[in-house]
Structure 1
Amino acid sequence: MNEVTVIGLGAMGGAIAQTLLEKGYQVTVWNRTATKADSIVEKGAVLTSTAAEAIRASQISIICVSDYKTSYEVLDVEDVHAALSGRVLIQLTTGSPEQAQKQEIWANTHGAAYIDGAIAAAPTQIGGSHATIFTSGSMEAFDQVKPVLGVLAGHVPYYGEQVSAAASIDLAFLSYLFGSYLGFFHASRILESDGLRIDDFGSMIAGVSPMIGSILQYEGEVIQHSKYENPQSSLQMSMVTVGLLMEQASEKSMNNEFPLFLQNMFHKAIEAGYGEQDIASLVKTMR
């Protein structure tokens, strides 16, 4: 099975199509703005005039567009319904768990097997060993598409037939990532206030990332098994560091929104009686 269809040729969809071509796949493409396909057609892709025609060209179709609303605008038309029957649809558009559940039902109704995927990579990383695509959905369909997805990403974890899983894992990952961004950006202001290099700090963080990963792995086990007692470092002890962040921001007349947010969260947990428990007990105040 060497034919794949790609619907949507934005930055990510274009990178997907190009990578498949480079790996020897016969790639059929469709995009609402046909001129966006010019460069990929020059490299060997076949452009069709309709989405239905593109889907009929391959057993496996990948759709990667801006959102699920756009996805339905492309797919939820009569000729596409007929074209999907007996084929596999891989949805790589970023969406919510509920959107994944609804689209699986929709796809199955029209005779298509469905895999929901979430890309944890930039377009320039597609095809590289560090790219990840979280997946969930039909196990039989996943076995069919795994070689194709393996061309696009070095890591393709499959989270089972609960189709919402990939989207939930993706949103959890993005929550962690965006939280890390905020911490790093506040750290940048601390460094700037003392004339220190931010790029050197970034390199240091990259170097210690395995250690950070181990800490988070431990905290995940604490939360999963509710083992908050007898911590290595209590929430009350961690509150001392939050106080220092607030003090430093005051000393340098810096924006203090990030440490203030932490302070409020920590105070809430301590007032709830979790001060001598593991810092992961913060999650109890978020339930």
Structure 2
Amino acid sequence: MQAAISVLGMGRMGSALARALLKAGHPTTVWNRTPAKAAPLGAAGAEVAASVHNAVAASEIVIVNVSDYAATESLLRNGAVAAALKGKLLIELTSGTPAGAREVQDWAGRHGIRHLDGAILATPDFIGTEAGTLLVSGPAPVFEESRTVLGALGGNVQFVGEDPGLANALDSAVLALMWGALFGALQSIAVCRAEAIDIETLGRQWSATAPVIDGLVADLIKRSAAGRYAADDETLSTVAPHYGALHHLVELMAARGIDRTITDGYEAIFRRAIDAGHLHGDFASLSLFMGRPAHA
């Protein structure tokens, strides 16, 4: 018999989680503040709970996927619900901060609740597939006990450490990487529109250039991890040519009236690195100036 699991929150992601659990054969109970959102899961075979307390009482494992940790707190931190959770496993898959995850684990520990914190690096359509990625942090023995359940949600489940904040911290780091690419694409589109370049041409150039960019990012991460900031025989690019190219981009944007919010940020980081003597250092040397505020 598969473990009975309750899922709180039937947004697009929560619904995908519940469907994956049903597909894996888990008796699944669902709850949502707006009952109509839970109705399709009821039609798919889930039990629809009338209240959070009923949902928590129905299963030994409770998965929460709501808007934020404040929403989780409002659902779980009352006497009856907390008492019903005692001795059970709470898997928090709500996006939040590392500090928030640590606070949840502290609260759970005080109430006799086992707890894992997770971050989903996937869109709902990847949930339950081999490509679905979940980062999980918390007590290692609890994670090991939960591998099968977590595996139903995605084929790429990664335990990132016992500090409960690590899953959210790594999630934020990956999102920063993703947003860098997405905002860079938005800026590229603005330049193409200003210069009357067909957007499909940009798409073809991205396909051709993506392997080069992937290599540069991988090298940047590797060199930063090793602390190799000075240029050497393996350097792919130093700060100087990038800074020169940035000026060309800024000049174009100024001429065309394109928003410079992003490039002004680039300029500030470049200037701090150059003022510290890294003009001819490896591009990875810029990482030394991203870990603290500009005024520090």
TM superposition score normalised by structure 2 = 0.90
CA gap 1:204/1:134 in 2 versus in 1, 3 angstroms: farther
Q: Distance in 2 between matches of 1:151 and 1:91?
A: 16
Task: Deviation per CA, 1:20-65: give whole Å up to 9, x if none.
Answer: 2223221111222222211110111101222222222222110000
Q: 1:246 maps to what in 2? A: 250
Pairwise CA distance, 1:125: 2.7
Say yes or no: does 1:185 pair with 2:155: no
Q: Report 1:122-141 matches (<5 A).
A: 122-141=123-142
Q: 1:2 maps to what in 2? A: 3
Q: Report 1:18-33 matches (<5 A).
A: 18-33=19-34
Task: Deviation per CA, 1:211-246: give whole Å up to 9, x if none.
Answer: 433322221222222211123321112111111211
Pairwise CA distance, 1:257: 2.9
Q: 1:281 maps to what in 2? A: 285
Q: Which runs of 5+ in 2 are unaligned?
A: none
Q: Distance in 1 between matches of 2:211 and 2:88?
A: 41
Measured on the aligned residues, the alpha-carbon RMSD in Å equals 1.9
Pairwise CA distance, 1:203: 5.9
Native 8 Å contact 1:29 1:48 kept in 2: yes
Native 8 Å contact 1:136 1:165 kept in 2: yes
Q: Distance in 2 between matches of 1:208 and 1:145?
A: 41
* SS, match of residue 116 in structure 1: strand
Say yes or no: does 1:113 pair with 2:136: no
* SS, match of residue 233 in structure 1: coil
Q: 2:262 maps to what in 1? A: 258
Q: Report 1:1-287 matches (<5 A).
A: 1-199=2-200, 201-202=202-203, 205=206, 209-230=210-231, 231-286=235-290, 287=292
CA gap 1:204/1:138 in 2 versus in 1, 3 angstroms: farther
CA gap 1:133/1:198 in 2 versus in 1, 3 angstroms: farther
Pairwise CA distance, 1:208: 5.2
Identity over aligned residues, as a percent? 32
Q: 66-75 or 132-141: which moved more? A: 132-141
CA gap 1:18/1:82 in 2 versus in 1, 3 angstroms: same
Native 8 Å contact 2:216 2:236 kept in 1: no
CA gap 1:145/1:211 in 2 versus in 1, 3 angstroms: farther
Q: 52-61 or 248-257: which moved more? A: 248-257
Q: Distance in 1 between matches of 2:67 and 2:256?
A: 42
Task: Deviation per CA, 1:132-154: give whole Å up to 9, x if none.
Answer: 11111111111122222222223
Pairwise CA distance, 1:209: 4.3
Q: Which runs of 5+ in 1 are unaligned?
A: none
Q: Distance in 2 between matches of 1:206 and 1:59?
A: 47
| Matched residue count | 287
Q: Distance in 2 between matches of 1:207 and 1:107?
A: 50
